[in-house]
Amino acid sequence: MDASLEVSGLAYAYPDGTQALFGVTTSIARGERVALLGPNGAGKTTLVLHLNGILHGGAGTVRVGGMPVDPSDKKALKEIRRRVGVVFQDPDDQLFMPTVKEDVAFGPANLGLRGRELDERVAEALERVGMAAFADRAPQHLSFGQRRRVAVATVLAMRPEILVLDEPSSNLDPASRRELAEILLSLDVTVLMVTHDLPYAAQLCPRSLILSDGIIAADGPTLDLLSDAELMAAHRLELPFGFVPQALSGA
């Protein structure tokens, strides 16, 4: 078993009739770091919410580490939610407990961990994002970048099969952005990163998917996709001023 994530023929329409996904098929191997690119309204968030079974009911299947996502099987769903660690865009949504420590403990405690084992898991996750010194602080007293790092720790503590990040670089100042990149590169875990930040995708993810109008419009090495001006323009993707992907691929 070497695929962390297999999505096949996934289609979904919201209850109001809006069709968001039109048959998405892709596979991510264990240890890969993949960027999911696409304009606003392409269905990126909808896809992410299928990965851990929060949205369901359309056609197609999702398998995580070989295990099918089946929302009717409560026990299996719990295991799926352990395997898929979703880091949401706004850390204030993700960090809802009174202290950093309790928040990081929330996931593993729901998995049934208690006592010393739980403490070790929390300490380890905070260590990996460099936030161990802030364990007893309240989330609202941290900087935005620190909160985002704690948000990453909250899902690392569940030892996920795949880390799913929704716009990880949004609202970060350049230093926090670089710090987060260093942390993500240091993690030995499969990553799916949803982003508009194309240089960030180029820096962190060797492979990219372009999701456009509810289908996978392109799949390939990130720098190749970013260098394809026609493809980029067709899907409303634009590189920031002065960023030349060809210069990176040459290096």
Partner 1 sequence: MGAGHAHSLYLRRDSPVHALPPHCKIVATVGFVLAVAVTPRHEVWAFALYAVLLAAVAAVARIPAGTIARRMVIEVPFVAFALFLPFVARGPEVEVLGLALSVDGLWGAFTILAKGTLGVVASILLAATTEPRTLLLGVERLGLPPLLTQIATFMFRYLDVVADELRRMRVARASRGFEARDLRDAKVLARSLASLFLRCYERGERVHLAMLSRGYDGRMPVLAEAGASRGQWAASALLPAAAAVVAAAAWMVAFRLG
The residues that touch partner 1, with contacts defined as CB under 8 A, are: 49, 52, 54, 78, 81-82, 84, 86, 88, 90, 92-94, 96-99, 102, 105-107, 109-111, 118, 138-141, 143-144, 154-155, 158
> How far is Cα 65 from Cα 87, in angstroms, rounded to an integer?
19
Smallest distance, partner 1 to C-beta of residue 245, A: 33
Specify the residue, 109 or 231, whose C-beta has the smaller distance to partner 1. 109
- Minimum CB separation of residue 164 from partner 1 in Å reads 9
Token look-up 């720098």 returns 223
> Is-contact 131 162, C-beta < 8 A?
no
Which C-beta is closer to partner 1: that of 18 or that of 171?
A: 171
Cα-Cα-Cα-Cα dihedral of 235, 50, 128, 124, to 10°? 180
Least distance (Å) from partner 1 to the CB of residue 39? 22
Nearest distance from residue 249's CB to partner 1, in Å? 36
Sign of CA dihedral 231, 232, 233, 234: positive
21 CB-side CA count, 13 A: 26
Minimum CB–partner distance for residue 109 and partner 1 (Å): 3
Is 78 or 207 the residue whose CB approaches partner 1 more closely? 78
Quote the CA–CA distance of 64 and 49 in Å, as a whole number: 13
Query: Within 13 A of 41's CA, how many CA atoms are on the CB side?
Result: 4
* Nearer CB in complex with partner 1: 41/221: 41
Say if residues 187 and 140 touch (Cβ distance below 8 Å).
no
Residue with smaller CB distance to partner 1, 141 or 236 = 141
